[in-house]
Amino acid sequence: MPSLLSFSPEGIYCEQAGVHIDPWRGVDRAIITHAHSDHARGGSRYYLAHPTTKQLMHARIGRDLRIETLWPGQTGTINGVKFSLHSAGHIPGSMQVRVEYKGEVWVATGDHKRQVDGISEPYEPVRCHTFITECTFGLPIYRWKEPQEVFAEINAWWRGNAEQGVCSVISAYSLGKAQRVLTGVDHSIGPILVHGAVANMNTVLEGCGLRLPRWEQITADTPKERFRNALVITPGSAIGTPWTNKMRPYSTAMASGWMQLRGWRRRGNLDTGFVLSDHADWPALLQAVQETGAERIIATHGYTEVFSQYLRSIGYDAVAESTEFAGEEGAIEERQKTQGESPNDQGRS
Ligand SMILES: [Zn+2]
Ligand SMILES: [Zn+2]
């Protein structure tokens, strides 16, 4: 009997049900873990996803996608295979996929984190026999501070700038990180202004019931004075373009797990960096593995070799599988290696 999930040229595949999870090419039926562009792609005939992911996919990929929804804990059955979604804690709507057939259980995580971020449903440990996990930050050097500490640093930077009439421009992914920054900072310091890409995601998420603090979209009419004590949240690709001229003088920062590596700030021409990630750090990856009770672990993206090798050394049956999940935080490292680009050059939609 073939294994319940396997890795096909299109992605993670359940042959018994004829379903792919986060396929990177168009397939007949796809289950999507979350709406980041390396996991949610167009071109498939039918999709199954969390209701929030459905709305995000319509906004980011297209209105014409055929997407059925499943709430966390609900079970869908296809040809005898049971599928259910369980929170991955990564961004709003992000889910792990649990797959069960004849008593055998697999879980595919997509991206996940254990830190509670104030916008995503908290991570839910799920028991399984085989656990397919990302390991974007699967090196022992990655250990995150408590988010409150990081937000105290961001607030201090913003407050210091505001007192001098300098605008604070922070680079954050438009989906997930931007809303986390918006929710975590101290709104008494000044107004929070956002790029159109962030505004679009905010609007979709608010439509899905997420409550966000006050924000306003930057337009051509936004007066220059408005920026003086403001925090601007934007995708990094907009920084340094004519779009930021009106914000001068401004200070730049990035919120990302990669900021733990000092070199990133310099290469990205950033004034400062804050270590804030939507992925599990090393201890959290190990904890996630342990809590599943799984004996077999498949590491899919990030430091797959290091992480799977470590798991083997402590007694797990662990392997690395190569996939085409690479966007988001993972992309920075790939792009740096191949093109010498900075984390500021993220061309994300
Ligand atoms: Zn993601
Ligand atoms: Zn990913």
Identify the DSSP state of 251.
E
User: What does the block give as tokens for 242?
Assistant: 């004519």
User: What does the block give as tokens for 13?
Assistant: 């595949």
Q: So what's the pLDDT on residue 337?
A: 37
Do residues 304 and 239 share a domain?
Answer: no
Do residues 26 and 127 share a domain?
Answer: yes
Do residues 152 and 137 share a domain?
Answer: no
Q: How does strand 29-31 pair with strand 46-49?
A: parallel
Closest ligand to Cα 176: 1
CATH of the domain at 55: 3.60.15.10
Q: Does residue 61 lie in a domain region?
A: yes
Distance 38 CA to ligand 2 centre (A): 7
Do residues 181 and 136 share a domain?
Answer: no
Residues linked to residue 10 through DSSP beta bridges, in sequence order? none
Distance 187 CA to ligand 2 centre (A): 31
Do residues 165 and 312 share a domain?
Answer: no
Residues with beta carbon < 5 A to ion ligand 1? 36, 111, 328
- Strand order through the sheet with 216-217: 216-217, 192-194, 231-234, 167-171, 250-255, 272-274
User: What does the block give as tokens for 110?
Assistant: 């997509």
Do residues 109 and 161 share a domain?
Answer: no
Closest ligand to Cα 330: 2
At 89 the three-state DSSP class reads coil
Whole-structure pTM value: 0.93
Do residues 190 and 304 share a domain?
Answer: no
Do residues 314 and 269 share a domain?
Answer: no
Question: What's the chain's length in residues?
Answer: 349
CATH of the domain at 221: 3.40.50.10710
Distance 10 CA to ligand 1 centre (A): 18
Residues with beta carbon < 5 A to ion ligand 2? 111, 325
- Structural domain tally of the chain? 2
Q: Does residue 1 lie in a domain region?
A: no
Show the domain range for 208: 147-274
Do residues 235 and 86 share a domain?
Answer: no
Per-residue pLDDT of the chain (349 residues; tens, 9 = 90+): 679 999 999 999 999 999 999 999 999 999 999 999 999 999 999 999 999 999 999 999 999 999 999 999 899 999 999 999 999 999 999 999 999 999 999 999 999 999 999 999 999 999 999 999 999 999 999 999 999 999 999 999 999 999 999 999 999 999 999 999 999 999 999 999 999 999 999 999 999 999 999 999 999 999 999 999 999 999 999 999 999 999 999 999 999 998 988 777 677 788 999 999 999 999 999 999 999 999 999 999 999 999 999 999 999 999 999 888 875 554 444 333 333 333 333 333 2
Single-letter amino acid, residue 329: E
CA dihedral 319, 324, 328, 333 (to 10 degrees): 70
Distance 174 CA to ligand 1 centre (A): 12
Q: So what's the pLDDT on residue 334?
A: 37
Do residues 191 and 266 share a domain?
Answer: yes
Closest ligand to Cα 35: 1
Rounded CA gap, 213 and 121, in Å? 18
Distance 326 CA to ligand 2 centre (A): 6
Do residues 298 and 187 share a domain?
Answer: no
Q: Does residue 311 lie in a domain region?
A: yes
Closest ligand to Cα 134: 2
Distance 15 CA to ligand 1 centre (A): 25
Closest ligand to Cα 34: 1
Domain boundary residue among 250, 274, 298?
274
Distance 112 CA to ligand 1 centre (A): 8
Distance 20 CA to ligand 1 centre (A): 17
Q: What is the pLDDT of residues 140-199, one digit of tens each?
A: 999 999 999 999 999 999 999 999 999 999 999 999 999 999 999 999 999 999 999 999
Domain boundary residue among 274, 291, 318?
274
Q: Does residue 299 lie in a domain region?
A: yes
Distance 225 CA to ligand 1 centre (A): 35
Domain boundary residue among 274, 290, 307?
274
Closest ligand to Cα 88: 1
Q: How many CB atoms lie within 10 A of CB 339?
A: 9
Q: So what's the pLDDT on residue 347?
A: 32
Do residues 41 and 87 share a domain?
Answer: yes
Q: How does strand 81-87 pair with strand 95-101?
A: antiparallel
- Cβ–Cβ < 8 Å for 273, 264: yes
Distance 162 CA to ligand 2 centre (A): 35
